[in-house]
Amino acid sequence: MTAQHDLIEYLLRLGDSALIQGQRLCEWCGRAPALEEELALMNVGLDLVGQARNWLEYAAELLNDGHDADHLAFRRDERAYRNLLLVEQPNGDFAVTMTKQFLYDAWHFQVLHGLSSSTDARIAGIAAKALKEVTYHLRRSSEWVQRLGDGTEHSHQRMLTAVQELWRFSVELVNADDVEQRLFEAGIAPAQQDVTAGWQAKVADTFARATLPVPEAASHFYLSGRRGLHTEHLGLLLAEMQFLQRAYPDASW
């Protein structure tokens, strides 16, 4: 594997995860439990889509095959996506949505914090800008986890169920593969042990405040978003997200 191949793979992971999580949040449009929450969810989703564009534009330039960020977002098949398995999971109820957002935000914050010191100046710039947005995302989602977990008996039980459903996907958040290890050695990506330690500390603190137990660390899952092996949910999401671009290729407005 070449250094450029590793970098492209990593950019796709960052961009795809932000894009898919943003798409999931935007599915709450017209369905959120309150107007204020609908606006907040849409704003976070749009932040993530904007971040995805920055990562995918860089990846498209490195690929240099005549395609742009829109092509990467809307014309690839499921197996070509490199997003975290966590973000492609359905929204479920509000407890599931906020638990998923929090687990992702806590990881995303640590990754962007590390990337803001990357030896790749463009990555460092994108990460520094995104970190400002994700700092707010993390504060908001952690507050919701605490509010629901330490709320009524009903909301507490909903949160326990959400954590139980989603925790197995956290294995990708705390383990690196060879691509990320090589990029760390090149000074481009953060050390996985730093990301893991920061993520675990934030989760432990927030769950304690929410009176939620921290499950045992997930050690293995038979699928891998990094390798394009996704759950059944991603294909359905892409079918909706990509419909217009595939039905009317290169349409202009």
| All structural domains of the chain | 3-247 (1.20.1260.10)
- Helices 121-149 and 94-115: crossing angle in degrees, nearest 10, is 150
- Helices 35-63 and 121-149: crossing angle in degrees, nearest 10, is 150
Angle CA(115)–CA(196)–CA(169) in degrees, nearest 5? Answer: 105
For residue 129, give the nearest of 47, 202, 197 by alpha carbon. Answer: 47
pTM: 0.95
For residue 87, give the nearest of 146, 24, 41, 36 by alpha carbon. Answer: 24
Position 253 scores a pLDDT of 67
What does R_g of the chain's alpha carbons equal in angstroms? 18
Of all residues in the chain, the percent with pLDDT exceeding 70 is 99
| pLDDT tens profile 40-53 | 999 999 999 999 99
Least confident range of 3-12, 35-44, 142-151: 35-44
Position 191 scores a pLDDT of 96
For residue 13, give the nearest of 61, 52, 57, 64 by alpha carbon. Answer: 52
Residue type, 113: H
**Residue 229 DSSP symbol:** B
